[in-house]
Amino acid sequence: MFDILLNAVLFLLNAILIWPVLRYNAHMLQQNTYRNTEQMVWLKINYHKQSSLIINFILVAGAAVTGNPVLFILSVAFTVFLIYYFNFLKKYNSKKPLVFTARVKRLLFTDILISALPVLIVFLTVKDALKISAVLVSLLAALQECMIMLANIINRPVENAIHSRFISMAKKILKERDDLKVIGITGSYGKTSMKYYLNALLSSRYNVVMTPGNYNTPMGIVITIRNYLKRTDQIFLCEMGARHVGDIKECCDIVHPQWGIITSVGPQHLETFHTLSNVQKTKFELADSLPDDGIIYVNMDSDPAALKAGDYNNVIGYSAMGKLKGNILRGYSAGNISMSATGTKFTVTAPDGSSEEFETRLLGMHNVTNLCGAVAVSHELGIELHDLIIPVRRLKPVPHRLEISNKSAGVTIIDDAYNSNPEGSKAAVETLGMFDGVKILVTPGMVELGDKQSEYNRRFGGYAAANCDYIVLIGHTNMKDIADGAKDAGFPESRIMSFVKLTDAMKYVYQIQDQGHKYILLENDLPDNY
């Protein structure tokens, strides 16, 4: 009787454990864009986070087979601990919570089905079913990192069919709108800012719809077309993101843009692109997809983008660094740039020689480049430079991109949490350096830079050393590289602090007693799968 009770408790607890483990792995698969290849890379890096499940399986097997009371107590205690641990991960990994989309629900259903099937077979065919099932469910809990990928493979035909159906519906909607001008926007960085700025400027004359937030995947674009596009809209600003070669072409095959904007080409997502050449090729899939009379706008301040632009004869360039050279139709340049802690002034000169001075609350040289591009597109669409002065002045920072998010007595927070690339991070700390006060950087560094990640984070440490009074590091991923880069640049080690959690880092920052107003730059925020 004791054996039956023991095995029943072990079975029940481990059956309960499967759910938080399954949910955790489904969350990571969603963040890894449902690609098993990316999930496997993540598992290789983060194997330690679930290795305790193997220990749990060994303890449960030992307790079930031997009936030893000590092993039973240990296995029960350890299983209960794991239930709490994986539920804690749900709360801890809350930057981008698991979204229970229809796809996720189908994925969870398939995983639960293939997990329950062997348990059901054991109960129907084996004499000592409870003991074996207790061990089996603990093994299934340990295998959830593989089971979720198996469920993903099983569901693939269904997902592909649903994917194709929704894309066909979106294409049909756009086919009926031959009056709609579609402008594709892509780039290693700057594309979301460009989309928001361009939407604000063009809305002064046209009815504009844009992909909301970070809806820059094929399905995000499809959702925009089906749920947001109205009959009265005249311009569709379609942001296009990419992690693999061919991703931009896939987006273009849905919307067939007439114009395109390439905001930059740089070392972003190198874990999946592998080389900068692949990044460059993928971004210019937008230019390759345009019709014969299409126009591609290229940020000439981005050297890899400017270099590739020379292969095309339909380029309108824009620059804030005087780099309008090479094979371009015409160009827009920003000059007379002056920056302060409260904003930026600059002049844009159009190809016909006309120019206008603009003021904006936006910070950073990269934003001058972005605004020059937005002004260029708007002007080419018939809006006079003079008529863009007020829209530019009214622009607000894109959320989490050098946004002054909190200004109180003695403290200003500069939120740049969505910035995670080498050029943008450099620009952010240089912007911080313009402020007159105590300049504090809080950052976990940059990821998805492949074998260049260490090098770029060391450089970032050097840039931070030249512009900050304190460097506060979060997590373990890039801590050593940033610190080493700062120390190599002569930054005092006593002003470099490290914390596991952002909350602990911020407690330290607020306790800094230096005289002067505190300017705290929150630079990047690693996703939950790091």
What pLDDT digit, counting tens, does each position of 448-495 carry?
Answer: 777 788 888 999 999 999 999 999 998 877 888 999 999 999 999 999
The kind and range of the H/E element at 523 are strand 518-523
Give the length of the chain. 530
Average pLDDT over every residue of 245-267: 95
End-to-end alpha carbon distance in the chain: 46
Helix extents (H) in 353-501: 365-380, 389-394, 422-432, 453-467, 479-488
Distance between CA 276 and CA 265 in Å, rounded? 8
Distance between CA 362 and CA 416 in Å, rounded? 12
- In 3D space, the residue among 114, 82, 239, 252 whose CA is nearest the CA of residue 170 turns out to be 252
Q: What is the pLDDT of residue 95?
A: 59
Q: Yes or no: say if 427 and 365 are a contact pair by the CB < 8 Å rule.
A: yes
- In 3D space, the residue among 365, 340, 383, 351 whose CA is nearest the CA of residue 198 turns out to be 383
Q: Is the pLDDT of residue 529 over 60?
A: no
188 Cβ contact list (under 8 Å, min separation 6): 263, 264, 265, 266, 267, 268, 269, 279, 283, 421
Long-range own/partner contacts, residues 78-82 (CB < 8 A, 24 or more apart) = 78/52, 79/10, 79/13, 79/14, 79/17, 79/138, 80/13, 82/17, 82/21, 82/52, 82/53, 82/56, 82/141
Taking residue 514's Cβ as centre, other Cβ atoms within 10 Å add up to: 12
Q: Is the pLDDT of residue 516 over 70?
A: yes
Instruction: Output the pTM of the full model.
Output: 0.81
Q: What is the pLDDT of residue 527?
A: 52
Average pLDDT over every residue of 90-112: 84
Distance between CA 319 and CA 349 in Å, rounded? 10
Distance between CA 56 and CA 414 in Å, rounded? 44
3-class DSSP state of 230: coil
Of residues 43 and 525, more confidence is placed in 43
Confidence of residue 54 (pLDDT cuts 50, 70, 90): very high
Strand partners, 296: 260, 315
Confidence of residue 274 (pLDDT cuts 50, 70, 90): confident
Q: What is the pLDDT of residue 359?
A: 95
Q: What percent of the chain has pLDDT over 90?
A: 62
3-class DSSP state of 101: coil
Q: Yes or no: say if 317 and 303 are a contact pair by the CB < 8 Å rule.
A: no
Which of 47-51, 81-85, 90-94, 276-280 comes out lowest in average pLDDT?
90-94
Q: What is the pLDDT of residue 293?
A: 94
Average pLDDT over every residue of 128-134: 85
Query: What are the tens digits of pLDDT across the range 335-394?
Result: 999 987 778 999 999 999 999 999 998 988 889 999 999 999 999 999 999 999 999 999
Confidence of residue 106 (pLDDT cuts 50, 70, 90): very high
Distance between CA 267 and CA 346 in Å, rounded? 28
Identify residue 359 by its one-letter amino acid code.
E
Q: Is the dihedral of CA 198, 201, 205, 208 positive or negative?
A: positive
- Give Cα 299 to chain centroid, integer Å: 22
Give the pairing of strands 330-340 and 343-349: antiparallel
Strand partners, 203: none
- Mean pLDDT for the chain overall: 90
Distance between CA 404 and CA 396 in Å, rounded? 10
Q: What is the pLDDT of residue 530?
A: 42
Distance between CA 300 and CA 234 in Å, rounded? 28
Q: What percent of the chain has pLDDT over 70?
A: 97
